[in-house]
Structure 1
Amino acid sequence: MPGGKKETKEYGHASGGWGSVKAVAEVLTREHAALEGGRVLMRQNKPDGHMCTSCSWAKPKDPHTFEFCENGAKATAWDLTDKRVDPDFFATHTVAELETWHDHDLEEAGRVTSPMRWNAQTDRYEPVSWERAFEEIGRELRAIAPNAAVFYTSGRASLETAYMYQLFARQYGTNNLPDSSNMCHESTSVALTAAIGVGVGTITLDDFEKTDLMFFFGQNVGTNSPRMLHPLQDARRRGVPIITFNPIREPGLVRFVNPQSPAEMLTPGATQISTQYHQVKSGGDLAAITGLCKALLEADALALRDSKPGLLDRAFIAAHTVGFESFAAFVAQTEWADIERESGLTRAALEAAAAEYGKASAVIAHYGMGLTQHRLGVENVRMLTNLLLLRGNIGKPGAGPSPVRGHSNVQGQRTVGITEKPELAPLDKLAAQYGFEPPREKGLDTVGACKGIIGGSVLAVIQLGGNLVRSVPDRFAFEPAWRRLRLTVGITTKLNRSHLVHGTVSYILPCLSRIERDMRGDKPQAVSMEDSTGCMHGSHGIARPAGPDLLSEQQIVAGIARATIGDAGPTHSVPWTAWENDYALIREAIAETYPEIFHDFNARMWTPGGFHRPLPARERKWKTKSGRAEFFTPQSLCEDPDVHPIDATTLRLFTLRSDDQFNTTIYSLDDRFRGIKGTRMVVLMNPDDIHRLGLAAGQRVALETVADDGVPRRVDAFEVVAFDLPAGCVAGYFPECNPLVPLWHHAKESHVPAVKSIPVRVVASA
C-alpha cells in the first residue's frame, strides 16, 4: 500500500499558488510524463485541442495560456504515464493477489494495453484477440434476456460513443442505461425539469461578467472544478459578493492565488473568494434556504409597510410563475427556532445573507452534490430554485441556477440518449431513423441495477468506464453479488476494483484516452462533449497511444454491437462499421436525431467556447406541466428524515473527496487542503463531539450505520481527526465510507444515493 506514517497538519495557505504548481510537477514526474505532459497540457481545453478528461467545467472561447487546473493536469498525467499493465503484468499477478492491492496501487500500475480475458483455471487475466473478445461477449449477450443486461457509462465517454452505446442497448432490447448522473446530479435533472422545464443549469461563462452576487451551496470548487476559480476571482475584483453555504471551510472557497499570475505568485496576497461563509449542518440546506426566503419575505413586507420598494419581483412572479402563495404561506408558518435547529445557523447569519441577496439584481446560484445527494435532494434543488424565482433570477443575464457537474461529459451523454427513462429518449425518431422498435419499458438506474445484481435478475454488466464495485452503496452486499454475475466487461484505460471482483466470464477491454491520437487509416478522428453550461466542444488528441493494440471507445462499442446484433442489413440500418471508421458520420446521425440541438454539428463543433444547446428557460419559456416556472412547497425542513430522531450518540456522516482524487481515482493518500497525509482512513469530527463521546484525537474507531433494517454496516480502522465542522456532523472519504450507505438510502424521486447525511455512530475499536 502507498503512503507511510499518517500526519495531520492544518493547511494555512490559499488554494492555487505554489501548492498547486508543486502538485502538478510532482504528478508529472511520478508518472514519467514531464516532457510529454507539458506539451499536451498546452493544448488542453483549447478550441483546437482536447477537452480535459477530468471535470466538465466550461471551456472559454478566449483561453488562458495554461487553460488547465491542478486536477486536470493530474488526470492528464494519469493517462500519459509510461507505466504499463500489459500481458506480462497479468502473467505475474493472479487476480486473488491483485485484490489485496490498494485502489491507488491498481491504477498507479499503469495503462492497460491489450484485451484480456479471465481464466478460471489460472486465476489470471490472459491476452485475447479483439475478434474473439467481441464474439464471446456477443454470444453471452444473445444467450440472456435483454433486460438481464446492464449498460453502464461513467461520464468520460464522448457524445459520439454515448450515442452509439444507447443505440446499441436499445437495439439489443433494453433501456437499462444507468450512468454516473444517477450517482450525483439526477436530483438536478428531476428538480429543474419540474421547476423550469429544463434539467440542466441555465448560465454560461458570459453570465459571470454580468452577475452582481453568487451563492455556493455544497460545492467544493477548489478540488472539484478549480478552473472555475479564475472567473470567480475576476468577479470578486469587480466587487461581486460570494456567499457560501458548506459544512467545511474549503480553501478554494476562502482564498485563491492564481498560479498563472507572476504578480500573485511572487507576493503574499490572495483573493478572498467568499464574502460570507456559513457552515451549515449536513442535512441543513433545506432549512437554510427556507431561512433565506423567510428573511427576504419579511424584509419585503417591512419595506412595503414603510412605503418603500418591495424586494420581490412581483411582475415576474405574476407573469411567469405558479405556486407562490402556497410557498409563501409555508415560509410564513415556519418558525425561526426550527430553521436554526435544522440548519445549524443563526437567524442573524441567514438575515445577513438575505440582505445581500435583496440588494442584487442578477444572482447565480452554484451548487454541487452537497445539495443533491440527500434523501430529499430533489426538494433541495427545488427550494434553491424558489429562492431564485422570488427575485426573477432565471432567464436574465447574469442570473440562474448553476449545477456544477463532475465528470467531463456526464451531462452530454444524457443529451444524446443515455437514460433509463424511455420518455426522455426520442424513441419514435430512433425507430424511424434505424428501422427497429426500441423497448418502451423503463430501464434500471444505478440503484435499480444494484438491486437487480444483488437479487440475481441482472446477469451481465458492461461498464463503459467507471468502477461500480467501489462507487456504489452497500458494498458488503454488492461485491458478493457482483461475483455471481455471468458476464462482466470493463471498457477502460486503467485497472480498477471492478475488474478484479468479476463475473464468471470477464473481459478487460483497453481503450484510447481522449488525449491520444485516434487514427482511422490515415485520417485523424475527433470527438465532442458537452460542458456544465450546455456548450458543445470538439476535441482531438495529440499524444502517442499507450500501445498498438488499443481501440477507441467507438470501435469497441461497434465491435460488441456487430457481434451481438449484426451490422447494417435488412432488419436495421445502423452502420456500425462505417461509424467506427469515420466519427463525422456519427455526428451527422446525432444531428438527424436531435436537429434542434446538433444541426450543422460537424461545422459548429470547433466554435471557440463551444456552441450552446437551446435552453428555453433562458428566454423565460417554461416547458413545465403548467407552462410556467413552478414554486415548490416542501412538507418540512427535515432534509434526511431517516436521521430523525437523533439520540446523543447518532451523528450525520457526509462523504467527501480529497484534493488528490477524482471520483474513485485516487492519485495519492494525501489531502493537503485538509492537512492529512499518508492515509484516507480518517473520520473528521467536531472537537466538542470528540469530548462529549469520550473519544480522543488519534484514537482508532469504527463507524456503524444507525438503521432499523436489520443489516449491520460497520467499517473499522478509522482514526479520529479533530476538525472545524458543525457539531453533530462527521466526515469521511468516498469511497471508503460507501459500505455504510444503505442501498435504500437514496433521494426519493431521483434515486441518487444519499451519502451527504448518513446516520452513524462512532465507536471505539477494540
Structure 2
Amino acid sequence: MSDKSKTQDEDLPYYDHPTGGWGSVKSLAKIIARSRPDPGIMQTLWRQNKPGGHMCTSCAWAKPDKPHTFEFCENGAKATAWDLTSHRCTPDFFAEHSVEALKSWSAHDLEMAGRLTHPMRYDADSDHYIETTWEEAFEGIAAELKQLDPKSVVFYTSGRAALETSYLWALFARLYGHNNLPDSSNMCHETTSVGLKKVIGSPVGTCKLEDFNECDMIMFFGQNTGSNSPRFLHTLQAAARRGCHIVTFNPVRERGLIGFANPQSPMQMLTSSRTKISEHYLQVKPGGDIAVLAGLCKRVLELEEEKNGGVLDKAFIEEHTTGFEAFAQSMQQTSWADIEQASGLKRTDLEIIAGMYANAKKTIGIYGMGLTQHVHGFVNLAMYVNLLLMKGHIGRFGAGISPVRGHSNVQGQRTVGISEKPELVPLDKLAEMFDFEPPRDEGRTTVEVVRGVLDGSVKAFLSLGGNFARAIPDQGQADPAWKDLTLNVQIATKLNRSHLLVGRKTWLLPCLVRSEEDMQATGPQAVSMEDSLSNIYGSVGKRKPAGEHVKSEMAIVAGLAKATLKPNPKVKWDDWLGDYSLVRDLIEETYPDDFKDFNARMFEPGGFYRGNPARERQWKTESGKAEFTAPKVLTALGELPGEGQYTMITLRSNDQFNTTVYGYTDRLRGLEGSRYIVLINPKEMADAGLSEGQMVTLESAVDDGVERRVADLKVTAYDLPDGCVATYYPEANPLVPLEYHDQESKTPAYKGVPVRIVA
C-alpha cells in the first residue's frame, strides 16, 4: 500500500513506508551501534518519560498520565543513546588536535568524539584547549566578568536546561546586572511568545493533551511531526481512527502526517499496515499560509451568509472579541484570485477544507516553525487565531491553538525568567526576595546579540548548552567576529562548532546529561521541565556520569555565580546546590499561580498543569478581549522571488535534532548521503538548465550590499511547489540575513529567503 501522491513523479526520492514501523527500529539500531552507549541504555529508555523516570532531552511533546510500554520515540531514543555514548573527548584528544584543525571536521564528527570529561581552557599560543581545574575555571571566568560592563555580557541558554537551572541562571544574570538572556526560543518560537500574547493574552498554546481525545478536526501548518515530535503520532493515530478530520498545509509532503505504523502495535509491525493520518494534504507555497487562512476565513464568512447564520459563533465573538468587523471586511475585499496566487492552491480545495471547518464542533490548530520563521510570521499566527476565533475554538474543551515546541524545556525556561523582556519577569518580587535592584532595561534578543558580536558591543558570551554560532543566521558574517570577544564560556556535553570560534579567553565546561545521576550534598537530585502543553514534570537520572570531573549544570551556574558576585545573605548558592527542592520553593514563591505546591506535585503522572488564562477565556490583552487582526499582506515573505530567483526553505533531517546531526540518512524523505544538497522540483530544474547531481552555489538575493553564498550543493529533484528550493539547516544559515526576521519578534526568517542558483 503506497501513500504516494498520484501526481508525484515516481522517480523522485521518496520513502514508501509509514513513519514508525520497522524503519524506525532499524534507524535507532544504527545510532546505537554508532554511539555505543553504556549497557544500561535499555533500562534508561524503559524509564524515559515515565513518572519517576527521566524526561527526554529531545522534543517538548506531552507525556501521558498512563504511559505506553515504551514512552519514547525514534528521535528521543537517538538523543538518549547520543548522550550516553561510551566515546570520550578527553584532554588527550585536545592535545592531539588543534582548534584550527578541528574546524575542518563536520558537525557530526565533532560530536562523535564523545562526551567532554574535563574543564578545558583555550591556549592561544598553542591553539589547543588544555586541561584546567574547576577552581581555576570559576576564578578565571569571574575575574573577566568583574572587569566588564554587565550590559556587554550575554547569558544564552539552549532549551535543554531544567527549570531549576534556568531560574538560577536568570537570577545570576540579574544579580550581575543585565537582562541579556536570549534563548533558543528567539530562533524558533519567539513569534509565538509575542504573537499569541498580543492577540489572546497568552504567550503559549491553549490546549491540553485530553483535548485531542475530543476534537473532531485538527489542522496542521508548517510542522513536521514525524521527524520533530514523533510521540505525537500516537495521539494523531488515535484521533484519525475515531474519525477526526486531519488536514495539513505544508510545502513538503512529510511522512509523519501521511501514514504511521505504531512500533508498539504487533499487528501493524507484523502486517506492515499503517494508519492514514492526513485526510487532505495541500502543498502550499512558502509564505503562502496567510493566503490559505484568508481563503478559509473568507469561505466561512460566505457560508455564514449562504446559510443565514449558524456557522459563526456570534455569541462568543460579541462577548469575547474585538476587531471582528474590520477583519470581516478585509476578508470580503480580498479576491480569490489573489488568494490562489499567493497560496499556490486552488479555490475549490480551500472551499472543501473551509466546509469541513464550518461543520466541525471542536477544532485544534497545530503549527510549527513553518509559520513562525517568516518576516510576517506574526501575521501567520494572527490569521490562524482569526480562523479559530470565528467559531469560538479558543477557550473551549477539545479545541484551541497548539504550537509544537522543539527543545524539551524551551517553553519552561521562559516561564521561570529566561527573558530579555523585563516586563515579562516579576522584577519587584525578585528585588524583595533577594534584596537587590534588578536591571529594568531591555536585554538583547538573539538577533541583537549577533549584531553586538559584529559591532563589538558584546564583549562576553556565556552559553548554557546549545550550539549558538551554528544556529544563528548570517554565519559567514558572524564567524570571524567571535575571536574579538574578551570572554567566551561554553557549558556543554559534547564538542560542537561554537566551541571552535574562540575569543581572547575561552573556557569549555563539561556538564551532566539529564539521564545521568546528579549527586549533591543531600543526595541524588531531581530536576523539572515544562512541555508544549504547559505541564510540569520531574526528572531523575540514574546513569553513571561520563567522568568524575563532569559537573551538573546547577553546580556550574552556582560555581560561576559564587566566584563572580559579592556575598548576599539572601542568595544561598551552596544551600541551593545541595538541595534543588529549595530552588523549586523559590520558583513557587516567585510564580505562585503557576507553581503552587511545586515539590509535592512534580511527579504527578502526566505532569501538573500550570494553567493558561486564555483557556479560561480570560484575555490578558491590551483590549481585555481576544483580538481579530485585519492582515495587510497575503504572503509571509519579506520579498517575493524575482526573475531567476527562488524562495529557500530550510529543513531538518530525520537523523538530526536541531544542530545535532546523528547521521546522513534522511530516511523519511528518501534521501541519503551529503547534507550539502539543494532540492528543487524537476520542471523548474529543467527550466533552469540544471541536471540531477550537478554542483551549484546558492546566493542570497536580498539586496543589502552583503554577499552571501553557500557553495558545492548537489542539485536533487524533489516534490516541491514551484518557485521553491529546500536546503538543510544549519548548513544553509549563512544565506539568511541577520536583519531578515519577523517584524514583531525578530525571529529569523529561515523559512522564506530569496536566493539565486549559480551553476
TM surpasses 0.5: yes
User: Offset at 1:310?
Assistant: 2.4
Letter in 1 for 2:180: N
User: Offset at 1:648?
Assistant: 2.6
Alpha-carbon separation, structure 2, partners of 1:640 and 1:728:
13
User: Offset at 1:159?
Assistant: 0.1
What is the aligned partner in structure 1 of residue 546 from structure 2? 546
Letter in 1 for 2:618: K
Check the 8 A contact 1:696/1:720 in 2, yes or no.
yes
Letter in 1 for 2:283: Q
What is the aligned partner in structure 1 of residue 336 from structure 2? 336
What is the aligned partner in structure 1 of residue 132 from structure 2? 128
User: Offset at 1:34?
Assistant: 6.7
Please give the residue correspondences for 1:194-343 in structure 2 after superposition, counting only pairs within 5 Å: 194-304=198-308, 309-343=309-343
The partner residue of 2:142 within 130, 135, 138 is 138
The partner residue of 2:25 within 21, 24, 33 is 21
What is the aligned partner in structure 2 of residue 633 from structure 1? 630
Q: 1:221-256 deviations in whole A, cap 9, x for unaligned?
A: 000000000010000110001000000100000000
Alpha-carbon separation, structure 2, partners of 1:502 and 1:291:
50
What is the aligned partner in structure 2 of residue 457 from structure 1? 457
What is the aligned partner in structure 2 of residue 472 from structure 1? 472
Q: What SS does structure 2 have at the residue aligned with 1:736?
A: coil
Stretch moving more, 121-130 or 441-450: 121-130
The partner residue of 1:663 within 634, 638, 658 is 658
Alpha-carbon separation, structure 1, partners of 2:335 and 2:40:
60
Q: 1:577-634 deviations in whole A, cap 9, x for unaligned?
A: 1111110010011111111111211001011101111211111111111111110111
Establish whether residue 624 from structure 1 lines up as the match of residue 628 from structure 2: no
RMSD: 1.0
What is the aligned partner in structure 2 of residue 752 from structure 1? 747
What is the aligned partner in structure 2 of residue 71 from structure 1? 75
Q: 1:408-455 deviations in whole A, cap 9, x for unaligned?
A: 000000000000000001100000000000000000010000000000
What is the aligned partner in structure 1 of residue 724 from structure 2? 729
Q: What SS does structure 1 have at the residue aligned with 2:297?
A: helix
Check the 8 A contact 1:28/1:34 in 2, yes or no.
no
Q: What SS does structure 2 have at the residue aligned with 1:300?
A: helix
Check the 8 A contact 1:567/1:576 in 2, yes or no.
no
The partner residue of 1:761 within 753, 756, 759 is 756
User: Offset at 1:88?
Assistant: 1.0
Check the 8 A contact 2:454/2:478 in 1, yes or no.
yes
Q: What SS does structure 1 have at the residue aligned with 2:559?
A: helix
Structure 2 unaligned residues grouped into runs of 5+:
1-10
User: Offset at 1:302?
Assistant: 0.7
The alpha-carbon distance between structure 1 residues 384 and 240, as it changes in their structure 2 partners (threshold 3 A), is: same
What is the aligned partner in structure 1 of residue 191 from structure 2? 187
What is the aligned partner in structure 2 of residue 695 from structure 1? 690
What is the aligned partner in structure 2 of residue 30 from structure 1? 34
What is the aligned partner in structure 1 of residue 87 from structure 2? 83
User: Offset at 1:707?
Assistant: 1.6
Letter in 2 for 1:542: K
Please give the residue correspondences for 1:141-156 in structure 2 after superposition, counting only pairs within 5 Å: 141-156=145-160
Alpha-carbon separation, structure 2, partners of 1:119 and 1:164:
30
Alpha-carbon separation, structure 2, partners of 1:753 and 1:483:
24
Check the 8 A contact 1:216/1:245 in 2, yes or no.
yes
Letter in 1 for 2:444: L
User: Offset at 1:540?
Assistant: 0.4
Alpha-carbon separation, structure 2, partners of 1:342 and 1:544:
55
Q: What SS does structure 2 have at the residue aligned with 1:717?
A: strand
Alpha-carbon separation, structure 2, partners of 1:636 and 1:592:
44
Q: What SS does structure 1 have at the residue aligned with 2:725?
A: strand
What is the aligned partner in structure 2 of residue 672 from structure 1? 667
Check the 8 A contact 2:286/2:647 in 1, yes or no.
yes
Check the 8 A contact 1:198/1:615 in 2, yes or no.
yes
| Structure-1-length-normalised TM-score | 0.97
The number of residues matched between the two structures is: 749
User: Offset at 1:636?
Assistant: 1.9
Letter in 2 for 1:756: K
What is the aligned partner in structure 2 of residue 511 from structure 1? 511
User: Offset at 1:568?
Assistant: 3.2
Alpha-carbon separation, structure 2, partners of 1:299 and 1:34:
60
The partner residue of 1:574 within 571, 575, 578 is 571
Alpha-carbon separation, structure 2, partners of 1:55 and 1:168:
27
Alpha-carbon separation, structure 2, partners of 1:532 and 1:258:
22
User: Offset at 1:283?
Assistant: 0.7
User: Offset at 1:10?
Assistant: 2.2
Alpha-carbon separation, structure 1, partners of 2:27 and 2:255:
16
| Amino-acid identity (%) | 57
Alpha-carbon separation, structure 1, partners of 2:141 and 2:290:
46
Structure 1 unaligned residues grouped into runs of 5+:
1-6
Alpha-carbon separation, structure 2, partners of 1:403 and 1:688:
34
Q: What SS does structure 2 have at the residue aligned with 1:652?
A: strand
Letter in 1 for 2:625: R
Q: What SS does structure 2 have at the residue aligned with 1:436?
A: coil
User: Offset at 1:35?
Assistant: 3.3
What is the aligned partner in structure 1 of residue 736 from structure 2? 741
Check the 8 A contact 1:567/1:577 in 2, yes or no.
no
Check the 8 A contact 1:659/1:672 in 2, yes or no.
yes
Letter in 2 for 1:402: S
Establish whether residue 119 from structure 1 lines up as the match of residue 116 from structure 2: no
User: Offset at 1:647?
Assistant: 2.5
Letter in 1 for 2:260: F
Q: What SS does structure 1 have at the residue aligned with 2:374?
A: coil
Letter in 1 for 2:539: S
Check the 8 A contact 1:464/1:492 in 2, yes or no.
yes
Please give the residue correspondences for 1:355-754 in structure 2 after superposition, counting only pairs within 5 Å: 355-521=355-521, 523-569=523-569, 573-641=570-638, 643-644=639-640, 646-754=641-749
Alpha-carbon separation, structure 1, partners of 2:274 and 2:166:
41
Q: What SS does structure 2 have at the residue aligned with 1:595?
A: coil
Q: 1:8-63 deviations in whole A, cap 9, x for unaligned?
A: 84211110000001111121122112732111000000011010001100011100
Letter in 2 for 1:628: K
Letter in 2 for 1:314: K
- Runs (4+) of structure 1 exceeding 2 A deviation are 7-10, 566-569
Q: 1:122-176 deviations in whole A, cap 9, x for unaligned?
A: 1111111101100011110110100100000001000000000000000000000
Q: What SS does structure 2 have at the residue aligned with 1:226?
A: coil
User: Offset at 1:522?
Assistant: 5.9
User: Offset at 1:396?
Assistant: 0.8
Alpha-carbon separation, structure 2, partners of 1:515 and 1:605:
17
| Structure-2-length-normalised TM-score | 0.98
User: Offset at 1:567?
Assistant: 4.1
Q: 1:667-699 deviations in whole A, cap 9, x for unaligned?
A: 002211111111101101011111111111111
Stretch moving more, 33-42 or 113-122: 33-42
Check the 8 A contact 1:25/1:34 in 2, yes or no.
no
Letter in 1 for 2:232: M
Q: 1:517-547 deviations in whole A, cap 9, x for unaligned?
A: 0111461100000000000000000111111
Letter in 2 for 1:721: T
The partner residue of 1:157 within 149, 156, 161 is 161
Q: What SS does structure 1 have at the residue aligned with 2:248?
A: strand
Q: What SS does structure 2 have at the residue aligned with 1:394?
A: coil
Check the 8 A contact 1:568/1:576 in 2, yes or no.
no
Alpha-carbon separation, structure 2, partners of 1:737 and 1:136:
36
User: Offset at 1:649?
Assistant: 0.6
Check the 8 A contact 1:489/1:508 in 2, yes or no.
yes
Alpha-carbon separation, structure 2, partners of 1:321 and 1:16:
42
Alpha-carbon separation, structure 2, partners of 1:615 and 1:219:
23
Q: What SS does structure 2 have at the residue aligned with 1:265?
A: helix
What is the aligned partner in structure 2 of residue 4 from structure 1? none
Alpha-carbon separation, structure 2, partners of 1:648 and 1:261:
51
